[in-house]
Amino acid sequence: MIKIGASGIGGKSEAKGNLEYLNKNKLNAAEVAFTYSVYLKKEDAIEIGKLAKELNIDLSIHASYYVNLNSPEKKKVVMSKKRILDACEIGHHLGAKYIVFHPGFVGKSTREETYEKIKKEMITLQKYIEEKKWKVKLAPETTGKVSVFGSLDETLKLAKESGTAFCIDFAHLKARNNGNIDFKEVIKKLKGHKHIHCHYSGIAYSEKGEKNHIPIEIKEFKTIIKELKKQKINCTIICEAPDTYEDAIKMQNENKS
């Protein structure tokens, strides 16, 4: 089964209307954008999560952009972990399953050193979540620039070795490879997983990688959805296009066709 959703439901005052709009348009997922701050209180999260469950909408969270688990500055690593865990705590009360984030930058490290440092911090985060009994899954995301940790292979290996989930951003992978990507080959690598969390949008990029998200490309999305179904992959795809709700509806129309 493939579920389609949109990014962003807003704060307490907007969430009810936005969730009802998603339900009305037969969308069954939504990602809460904590990219700049965790803006929901526990009580509000519980209320919003209850409504989402009633409307059969699966929630996930995109955690802070301000994360670098490979920073040479210890304080920045500590703060990065706190931002992730703050999102995890509210995510637990929301009933959100996946906590998506970009793990870190390569910087002056080798890619191997970067991988080992991030894996170490991920295992620490995972242990803390298990101790707290939060029902969320860490989902490190594939990223859109080579200078940022998060190729497809790095992400899949990290999830396997740290015991977490992962997020496949098809647009990021396209930008990371300067447009030279075979989505069929990408999707073949995803076989064998019970459920996969994904992002999709159009993407503007340069030789350095991702520049910004743009409206979806229907023909491209048709290729992706066709291959996901062919490989019998269960997944949720969150639309991250600028007009996320309307493009998510277009994506759902393709999914149902």
Q: Report the percentage of the chain scoring pLDDT > 70.
A: 100
Domain count, the chain: 1
Confidence band, pLDDT 50/70/90 cuts, at residue 221:
very high
What pLDDT digit, counting tens, does each position of 25-38 carry? 999 999 999 999 99
Q: What is the mean pLDDT of residues 209-232?
A: 95
Q: Which pLDDT value is given to residue 101?
A: 98
The partner residues of 197 in beta bridges, in order of sequence, read 167, 236
Tokens 């301000």 belong to which residue? 66
What own/partner pairs with CB < 8 Å and gap ≥ 24 does 177-184 have? 178/205, 178/207, 178/209, 179/205, 183/220, 183/223, 183/224, 183/227, 184/223, 184/227
Q: Which pLDDT value is given to residue 257?
A: 79
- Is 90 exceeded by the pLDDT of residue 62? yes
Q: Which pLDDT value is given to residue 116?
A: 97
Q: Which pLDDT value is given to residue 188?
A: 94
CATH of the domain at 245: 3.20.20.150
- Is 90 exceeded by the pLDDT of residue 106? yes
* Residues spanned by the domain of 229: 2-256
Q: Report the percentage of the chain scoring pLDDT > 90.
A: 96
Q: What is the mean pLDDT of residues 131-144?
A: 97
Are 171 and 201 contacting, i.e. CB atoms less than 8 angstroms apart?
A: yes
pTM: 0.96
What pLDDT digit, counting tens, does each position of 195-213 carry? 999 999 999 999 889 999 9
